[in-house]
């Protein structure tokens, strides 16, 4: 898949710097302008400053985890339609269901299959 997106902004929320860097590089190659945050609270502040077109978040993080971030986004009328993709090493069904119930629009297990991530991005950018 040779996808190219232009003029779209993404926020990457993960407490591991190396994961943020890797994901940012891939998203920039797709054409996103990427902002980073270390935890859900920092991510939420950045979202409220400048609403991105898509959020990619880990689940397990200090301060505010990815599930709480999903809830905050989906409970805010201004953000309710913001697509959120959860990326996590917790790939069992209970975590996936928990993420979706908390407002995630999709779930990609780590280590990330970037072809799968591209498909998820294209589906969500095109409106679901």
Query: Consecutive 10-residue runs of the chain (128 residues): their mean pLDDT?
Result: 76 96 94 96 97 95 94 95 93 88 94 93 81
CB neighbours of residue 31 within 10 Å? 13
| Superfamily of domain 9-125 in the CATH hierarchy | Response regulator (3.40.50.2300)
Per-residue confidence (pLDDT) for residue 2, from 0 to 100? 54
Cα distances from 98 to residues 47, 55, 102, 107, in angstroms, run 22, 17, 6, 10
Per-residue confidence (pLDDT) for residue 109, from 0 to 100? 92
DSSP 8-state symbol, 58: -
Per-residue confidence (pLDDT) for residue 56, from 0 to 100? 97
Per-residue confidence (pLDDT) for residue 125, from 0 to 100? 85
- Measured over all CA atoms, what is the biggest interatomic distance in the chain, rounded to whole angstroms? 37
Per-residue confidence (pLDDT) for residue 104, from 0 to 100? 95
Q: CB under 8 Å, gap of 24 or more: what pairs does 45-50 form?
A: 46/11, 47/11, 47/73, 47/79, 47/82, 50/9
pTM above 0.85, yes or no: yes
Per-residue confidence (pLDDT) for residue 6, from 0 to 100? 83
């Amino acid at each position: 898949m040779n996808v190219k997106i232009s003029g779209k902004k993404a926020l990457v929320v993960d407490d591991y710097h190396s994961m943020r860097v890797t994901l940012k590089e891939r998203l920039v190659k797709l054409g996103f302008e990427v902002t980073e945050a270390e935890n859900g609270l920092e991510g939420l502040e950045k979202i409220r400053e400048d609403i991105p077109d898509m959020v990619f978040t880990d689940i397990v993080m200090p301060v505010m985890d990815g599930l709480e971030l999903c809830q905050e986004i989906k409970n805010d009328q201004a953000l309710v339609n913001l697509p959120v993709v959860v990326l996590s090493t917790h790939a069992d069904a209970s975590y996936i269901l928990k993420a979706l119930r908390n407002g995630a629009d999709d779930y990609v297990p780590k280590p990330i299959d970037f072809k799968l991530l591209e498909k998820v991005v294209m589906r969500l950018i095109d409106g679901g």
